[in-house]
Amino acid sequence: MYTTDTTHPTFERGAMNRRLDLAMLLVLTFSTGMVDAIGYLGFDKIFTANMTGNVVILGMALTGADDLPVLRPTLALVFFMVGAAFSGRILGRRGEDWHHRTTTIFTLVAIGCAGLAVYVGVVPDPEVGITGTIFTSALSTLMGAQAAAARKMKIADVTTVVVTSTIVGLASDSRLAGGDSTNWARRGLAVGLILVGALAGAASLLINQWIGIAIVSVIIAVAAYIGHRGMHRRTRTEAAAESPADATV
């Protein structure tokens, strides 16, 4: 019977690459906190990354609750799914490791956010009327694509767009609940980063609406670049490694 040698350098490098992927997804979690704060506070109570929030808002709005939008959260839901479907189509049945198509998705999202920053910067009153609806729909499409690419990587407890299940895991697996606090660090970071991201997004609105989206674009571009470099290092390492036995009898 063969067992994997977890002390072998190749295994250790693989674990290091997964830690790099985790770090990049945590960075993207921060950026989605910014995105949702900008959408909710600056564009008529719309979540462009957290679709759970939109479903709740839409449900309340359909009961006749005052001052709650219907069109924008509906379009955000639809376009988020369009973006996720587009991303899934590009990624296909790729494995969990970062792939050059993963880089492509995140790069397109970064470029799209940069374009939206320009759009918000040049359009008068971008939050009003059809211009605001175009912005929230387009940003939801980008966030759907990003979320699908993150999901494909299957990093436990880090989806980049929601932290409800992460909070449940953090509490239910805690030592207080009789668990072993599995993955408590990444769970705590995911929650904290989306919180700090929302704070940063809200603060950016005090300057100008385009500032926050421009920052998000840079963050996603940096994550895409670092993740891509990590993928190339992994590929070179695997090519140079001795093939047969990362395993022992």
**112-167 per-position pLDDT tens digit:** 999 999 999 999 999 999 999 999 999 999 999 999 999 888 887 787 777 877 78
Q: Which residues contact 8 (CB under 8 A, 6 or more apart)?
A: 246
> What integer pLDDT is reported at residue 16 of this predicted model?
66
Least confident of 3-7, 71-75, 113-117, 214-218: 3-7
Tell which residue, 247, 202, 210, 211, has the closest CA to residue 41. Answer: 202
Place 110 in a pLDDT band, splitting at 50, 70 and 90: very high
For residue 247, list its beta bridge partners. 4
**8-43 per-position pLDDT tens digit:** 444 455 566 678 888 889 999 999 999 999 999 999
User: What sign has the CA pseudo-torsion 107, 143, 158, 101?
Assistant: negative
> What integer pLDDT is reported at residue 221 of this predicted model?
96
Torsion, Cα 156 159 163 165, to 10 degrees, reads: -50
> What integer pLDDT is reported at residue 117 of this predicted model?
96
**Alpha carbon of 173 to those of 66, 180, 184, 188: distances in Å?**
39, 6, 8, 12
Tell which residue, 143, 162, 148, 139, has the closest CA to residue 87. Answer: 148
Domain 9-241 has CATH 3.90.75: no
Query: What are the residue boundaries of the structural domains of the chain, listed by start?
Result: 9-241
Whether the per-residue pLDDT at 246 is higher than 60: the answer is: no
Measured at the CA of 230, the angle between CA 225 and CA 232, to 5 degrees, comes to 95
Site of tokens 């910014």 = 34
Place 5 in a pLDDT band, splitting at 50, 70 and 90: very low
Structure tokens at 49: 């990354």
